[in-house]
Amino acid sequence: MQYKIVAPKAIDSAVFLPASKSISNRALVLNALSQSSSTLENLSDSDDTNVMIDAFESESKGDNLIDVKAAGTAMRFLTALFAITPGEWIITGTERMRKRPIKILVEALILLGARITYLGNIGYPPLKIKGTSLKGGDIYLSGDVSSQFVSALLMIAPTMNKGLTIHLEGDVVSAPYIKLTLGMMSQFGVKTHCENKVIKVHPEEYKAVHYTVESDWTAASYWYEIAALTDDARVELKGLSKNSMQGDSKVGELFADLGIATEYTTDSVVLTKSNRRTKKMFHNFINEPDLAQTFVVTCCMMNIPFMFTGLQSLKIKETDRIEALKAEMKKLGYLIYNSENSILEWNGERCEPEVEPVIKTYEDHRMAMAFAPASIKLGHINIAHPNVVTKSYPRYWDDLKSAGYVIEEISQ
């Protein structure tokens, strides 16, 4: 299936953004560890969160086969959680998931006392886990590993006999996600200490709390993109906070250079046009890798050259996002170059675009959501397999329609 997307000439819309899946998935783990019977409020309705919920329901029913499908967060978090949960568990996922590395997390857990074996290729899911108590202690990790590995270890750290001290070496990727985890652990009653890339967590019990999940700043980025590309735009995004712990809340500051002003209210942000516009955009996305696709497409559509660094984690996301961006932007007539597996650059070089390009989504929700707003400049755009958005923002297409977009389903 494909969608043909036609954008309106102007936009004046209020959007109720989905809840943050990053916060939702952490809250589910912390809620379980606190043995709370409280209901978490405003949980994300994304695929990634739903597979977490399904996993907990399977556990309660005694079903030991857990299929996380394409949810990387669920794979990492549940691997750690089931490592300390009595019983025997098998965790598997999609074909792509079985190619996403998990060796660093598994080796760290085994070093701490976990009993985990690979059921397929060494270093990749599926995994067989026998839950046991972990001794804890000190562990050393390269800072450029997935922050989800670090977060997975941190959340179970208070249950370890000796607690856990994580020493991060080198540059730390996606540090705000680690800070988010530490902040939420504090909200559930566990103190942590972080200094000079050393994180200490002592043995301690989580406390049951009533918890409400805030809206997703990464989802907001696509509306910033829409506002930036539309000549006449005003967008109100509900449920966002200026003081959010989400690292992607930096999107407002970054889009200021692309002509979007952000006004913060008590329970939302309002986006309007400004006259500010950079001649070339430079940014290190090491702390906000999920925003990279949004800014690549936006800058090209605005004819603003860029150099984006800190993108090394993009190669192990739902797809190799670096190669995917190069391939799909070339269809639209933009030649993007990468170097050092962590840099994407566009110097303004163009090529002949395809006559009727169809954007591949590579089972990656962010490819669909980042490319759809390009229809504003192109007249229309075709997106293949548009249902991938259910991974994080199931109502994305409905919200676009409410804002005036015309979306036509095309059979392939």
Domain-embedded: residue 206 = no
Cβ–Cβ < 8 Å for 195, 40: no
Q: Are 128 and 50 members of one domain?
A: yes
Q: Are 187 and 255 members of one domain?
A: no
pLDDT band at 143 (very low <50, low <70, confident <90, very high): confident
pLDDT band at 173 (very low <50, low <70, confident <90, very high): confident
Stated pTM of the model = 0.87
Has 267 been annotated as catalytic? no
pLDDT tens digits for range 94-119: 998 999 999 999 999 999 999 999 99
Q: Are 249 and 136 members of one domain?
A: no
Domain-embedded: residue 308 = yes
Torsion angle of the four alpha carbons 253, 346, 216, 410, in this order, in degrees rounded to the nearest 10:
140
What is the identity of the amino acid at 392? S
Q: How far is CA 137 from CA 76, 144, 166, 186, 349, in A?
A: 20, 21, 9, 20, 52
Q: Are 167 and 290 members of one domain?
A: no
Bridge partners of 14, per DSSP, are: 236
Assign residue 89 the CATH number of its domain. 3.65.10.10
Q: Are 59 and 185 members of one domain?
A: yes
Give the model's pLDDT for residue 224: 98
Q: Which of 48, 248, 257, 290 is catalytic?
A: 290
pLDDT tens digits for range 226-247: 999 999 999 999 999 888 999 9
How many domains does one find in the chain? Answer: 2
Give the model's pLDDT for residue 379: 94
Q: Which of 201, 223, 248 lies at the terminal end of a domain, its last residue?
A: 201
Domain-embedded: residue 207 = no
Q: Are 179 and 263 members of one domain?
A: no
> Going by C-beta distance under 8 Å and a sequence separation of 6 or more, which residues neighbour residue 80?
105, 109, 152, 153, 155, 156
pLDDT band at 412 (very low <50, low <70, confident <90, very high): low
How much is the mean pLDDT over the chain?
Answer: 94
Q: Are 270 and 387 members of one domain?
A: yes
Give the model's pLDDT for residue 203: 98
Q: Are 336 and 397 members of one domain?
A: yes
Instruction: Kindly state the percentage of the chain with pLDDT values over 70.
Output: 99
Q: Which of 178, 201, 224 lies at the terminal end of a domain, its last residue?
A: 201
Give the model's pLDDT for residue 2: 96
Q: Are 25 and 14 members of one domain?
A: no
Q: Are 160 and 225 members of one domain?
A: no
Q: 71 lies in which domain range?
A: 21-201
Domain-embedded: residue 144 = yes
Nearest to 62 by CA among 30, 89, 38, 82: 89
Domain-embedded: residue 242 = yes
Give the model's pLDDT for residue 411: 75
Q: Which of 143, 167, 201 lies at the terminal end of a domain, its last residue?
A: 201
Q: What is the mean pLDDT of residues 361-371?
A: 94
Residue 63 has pLDDT above 90, yes or no: no
Q: Are 263 and 313 members of one domain?
A: yes
Q: Are 45 and 145 members of one domain?
A: yes
Distance CA 391, CA 70 (A): 8
Least confident of 164-173, 270-279, 323-332: 164-173
Domain-embedded: residue 208 = no
